[in-house]
C-alpha cells in the first residue's frame, strides 16, 4: 500500500486548502456576476474551476506577495476586452436596448431561454418582480425564475402563453442575453501566466512606482 511522507502529506493538505479557498472566492465573484445577468451558468462553473486549480500566485507587480489568482484572471479578462465591451455598449444604447437584457414576446418563447424577471401568481393574481437582490416575493405558483440556470421548462413556456391568451399577463418578458465570457477568461489566464496582473501594471505605471 502506497504511503506518503509527512512532508508530502502536509503539502497535500495545504494544496487542498488553497484550492478550496480559491474555488470559494471565484464562486462568490462569479455568482454575483451571474445574478447581475452578465454571466451564464457555464461561466460560473469555469471560473470556479480556475479558482480551484490556480488559487494563488506571486505577482511581479506587488513585491512578490502571494495574490489571489482569480482576481487577476477577472481583472485581466475585463481589461483585455474592455474596448469590445465599450463598442458593444454603445451599439446597444444606439438601438435603445439594454446591454444585459432584451425584451421578447411571450408568445415567441422557447424552452431553455433564461428570464431576467420573476413572474409568479399569488392569490389568483399574476405579477412581475425584477429585483436581483433582497427578499423573494411570496407566491403560490412560479412561472419564470431568473435563478434557474437551465432556463424555461416546456411547462413554464406553455403556462405563460396560456396566461397571455387569457389576458392575465401582457405579452412581453425580459430575457437574459447570455453574453459568453469564457473566451475572455481564457485570455485572462494566458495574460496572468505570461505577464502578470494588468491592473497592478497600469497602477504602477500611472504612479511611476
Domain residue limits at 162: 101-176
Cα 148 to chain centroid, rounded: 13
Do 72 and 167 belong to one domain? Answer: no
DSSP for residue 136: P
| Confidence (pLDDT) at 106 | 95
| Confidence (pLDDT) at 1 | 42
Tens digit of each residue's pLDDT (9 = 90 or more) over 136-195: 678 889 999 887 777 899 999 999 999 999 999 999 999 987 667 888 888 888 888 888
| Tally of structural domains, the chain | 2
Q: Is residue 168 part of a domain?
A: yes
Do 13 and 82 belong to one domain? Answer: yes
Distance CA 92, CA 100 (A): 9
Q: How many CA atoms lie within 13 A of 116 on its CB side?
A: 19
Write the CA distances from 88 to 81, 95, 164, integer angstroms. 11, 11, 33
| Confidence (pLDDT) at 69 | 82
C-alpha cell recorded at residue 71:
482576481
| Confidence (pLDDT) at 107 | 95
Q: Is residue 1 part of a domain?
A: no
| Confidence (pLDDT) at 173 | 94
Do 168 and 202 belong to one domain? Answer: no
pLDDT < 70 stretches in the chain: 1-12, 14, 37-38, 58-66, 131-136, 178-179, 208-209
Q: How many CA atoms lie within 13 A of 34 on its CB side?
A: 21
| Confidence (pLDDT) at 6 | 61
Do 132 and 191 belong to one domain? Answer: no
| Confidence (pLDDT) at 61 | 63
Amino acid at each position: 500500500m502506497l504511503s506518503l511522507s509527512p512532508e508530502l502529506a502536509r503539502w497535500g493538505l495545504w494544496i487542498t486548502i488553497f484550492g478550496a479557498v480559491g474555488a470559494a472566492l471565484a464562486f462568490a465573484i462569479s455568482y454575483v456576476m451571474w445574478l447581475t445577468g452578465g454571466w451564464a451558468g457555464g461561466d460560473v462553473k469555469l471560473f470556479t474551476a480556475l479558482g480551484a486549480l490556480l488559487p494563488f500566485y506571486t505577482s511581479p507587480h506587488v513585491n512578490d506577495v502571494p495574490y489571489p489568482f482569480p482576481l487577476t484572471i477577472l481583472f485581466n479578462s475585463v481589461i483585455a476586452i474592455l474596448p469590445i465591451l465599450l463598442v458593444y455598449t454603445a451599439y446597444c444604447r444606439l438601438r435603445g436596448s439594454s446591454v444585459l437584457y432584451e425584451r421578447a414576446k411571450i408568445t415567441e418563447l422557447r424552452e431553455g431561454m433564461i428570464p431576467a424577471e420573476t413572474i409568479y401568481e399569488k392569490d389568483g393574481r399574476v405579477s412581475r418582480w425584477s429585483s436581483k437582490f433582497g427578499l423573494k416575493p411570496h407566491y403560490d405558483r412560479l412561472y419564470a425564475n431568473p435563478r434557474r440556470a437551465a432556463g424555461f421548462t416546456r411547462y413554464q413556456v406553455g403556462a405563460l402563453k396560456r396566461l397571455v391568451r387569457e389576458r392575465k399577463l401582457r405579452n412581453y418578458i425580459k430575457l437574459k442575453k447570455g453574453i459568453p465570457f469564457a473566451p475572455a477568461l481564457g485570455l485572462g489566464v494566458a495574460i496572468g501566466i505570461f505577464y502578470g496582473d494588468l491592473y497592478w501594471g497600469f497602477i504602477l505605471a500611472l504612479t511611476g512606482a
